[in-house]
Amino acid sequence: MEQLFAAKEIVISCGSGGVGKTTTAAALAAMAATRVGGRVLVLTVDPARRLANALGLEGFGNVEKPVPASAFAEVGVAPRGELWAAMLDTKQSWDNLVQRHAPDALTAQRILDNPLYQNVSGRFVQSHDYIAMERLFEIHTGGQYDLIVVDTPPTRNALDLLEAPQRMAEFFSSRFLRLLIAPYRSKLINMASRPFYQVADRILGSQFLQDIAEFFILFQTMYAGFVQRAEAVDRLLHDKRTTFIVVSTLEAAPLHEAEFFVDALSDKRFHLGAVVLNKVLPAYLLEAGAAVVAERLVKDAAPIAAEVAPRAGCAEDLVERVLTEMGENFLRFQLVAQREAEQRSELAVSPEVVATVPYFESDIYDLGGLLKLGEQIWS
């Protein structure tokens, strides 16, 4: 892991929602800053409040901020480098993008003011995915950091993330988009003569249709800039300085998604740095001998309690209840641990890239916690 982080400039953490992507990204960035050194930036999407606090991100949008040295000192760590953090503000990033690519300030303002813009910037062509990559590109080009670790928004379909730049370009060059706005561009085509417009008009009303078309016409003024940029972003993702880390738990759905993602990465010739399996239950739950003991505790709780209670100086009925609970509890967790172990053994990924992180019993909310987690992935 240390080699990977020393060799790469961009690390992208991806996976389903709720698997610990954000925490993993932050932990890895903290580790890199500590062990590898240099200026390390973690770009997060939606950190838990306490994590944001720990990184000093509260109340800051797109601005990058250093994590204060005192935060490291508090947990007794002297980092070799610096850790910086920034949050991804999708709306703000979109606005910046428009301002950059619009032909003039007036057009930019008209786009930003269009009632449809908000909606489009909030959603279309997986805009969150795209904007995360776009922002990464911007920061990377700025050349301020030795390493950038990026957390990504939860994706339904992992491919969306990889294809976002391409799709963005396709969207704006689409034939159908041209068809939609054609009547508004040239009065030569009589709207009413086309069945589509008749239907659309009946459903949406012509005024609204016109609003939509106007919006796209405005947006198209940015076409060339957008497409060029999207292509540059795509190149950066394919660059050999960029690597992907796939995070998952051992639950069926996220793991399935992770496998899919790993395949997609190799299909599309992206670099897979590591698969991080998070929240893995402790190995002792799988011990066969322990299961036998647990079963005995459940079945023979009374006689065992009779033997133990006087020696331990406890009430026998209490001991009996405790022993039964302990045994049952073990068997319950073992069931889940076994299921997870099976899932893991079916994972078709070469083992040298797999890192396992144990289930932490309490939440991670400070730098100390992050580093503890980071060490697990590192080793």
Ligand X SMILES: Nc1ncnc2c1ncn2[C@@H]1O[C@H](COP(=O)(O)OP(=O)(O)OP(=O)(O)O)[C@@H](O)[C@H]1O
Sites for other proteins among residues 306-345 (CB under 8 A): 307-308, 311-315, 318-319, 321-323, 325-327, 329-330, 332-336, 338-339
Q: Does 46 bind ligand X (CB under 6 A)?
A: no
Of 236-265, binders to other proteins (CB under 8 A) are: 251-254
Q: Does 6 bind other proteins (CB under 8 A)?
A: no
Point out the residue whose Cβ comes nearest to ligand X.
251
Residue from 69, 253, 293, 314 in contact with ligand X (CB under 6 A): 253
Specify whether the CB–CB gap between 69 and 40 falls below 8 A. no
282 binds, among other proteins, ligand X, none (CB under 5 to 8 A by kind): other proteins
Residue from 59, 176, 269, 348 in contact with other proteins (CB under 8 A): 176
Point out which span in 32-40, 175-183, 259-267, 348-356 binds other proteins (CB under 8 A): 175-183
Residue from 53, 109, 144, 174 in contact with other proteins (CB under 8 A): 174
Q: Does 252 bind ligand X (CB under 6 A)?
A: yes
Q: Does 361 bind other proteins (CB under 8 A)?
A: yes
Least distance (Å) from other proteins to the CB of residue 55? 15
Of 178-197, binders to other proteins (CB under 8 A) are: 179-180, 195-196
Q: Does 315 bind ligand X (CB under 6 A)?
A: no
Point out which span in 84-92, 219-227, 245-253, 275-283 binds ligand X (CB under 6 A): 245-253
Least distance (Å) from other proteins to the CB of residue 168? 12
Least distance (Å) from ligand X to the CB of residue 18? 8
Least distance (Å) from ligand X to the CB of residue 251? 5
Write out the chain in H/E/C secondary structure: CHHHHHHCCEEEEECCCCCCHHHHHHHHHHHHHHHHCCEEEEEECCCCHHHHHHCCCCCCCCCCEECCHHHHHHCCCCCCCEEEEEECCHHHHHHHHHHHHCCCHHHHHHHHHCHHHHHHHHHCCCHHHHHHHHHHHHHHHHCCCCEEEEECCCCCCHHHHHHHHHHHHHHHHCHHHHHHHHHHHCCCCCHHHCHHHHHHHHHHCHHHHHHHHHHHHHHHCCHHHHHHHHHHHHHHHHCCCEEEEEEECCCHHHHHHHHHHHHHHHHCCCCEEEEEEEEECCHHHHCHHHHHHHHHHHHCHHHHHHHHHHHHCCCHHHHHHHHHHHHHHHHHHHHHHHHHHHHHHHCCCCHHHEEEEECCCCCCCCHHHHHHHHHHHHC
Residue from 124, 141, 235, 238 in contact with other proteins (CB under 8 A): 124
323-341: b (≥16 Cβ within 10 Å) or e: bbeebeebbebbeebeebb
Q: Does 335 bind ligand X (CB under 6 A)?
A: no
115 binds, among ligand X, other proteins, none (CB under 5 to 8 A by kind): other proteins
Q: Does 251 bind ligand X (CB under 6 A)?
A: yes
290 binds, among ligand X, other proteins, none (CB under 5 to 8 A by kind): other proteins
| Binding stretches for ligand X (CB under 6 A) | 251-253
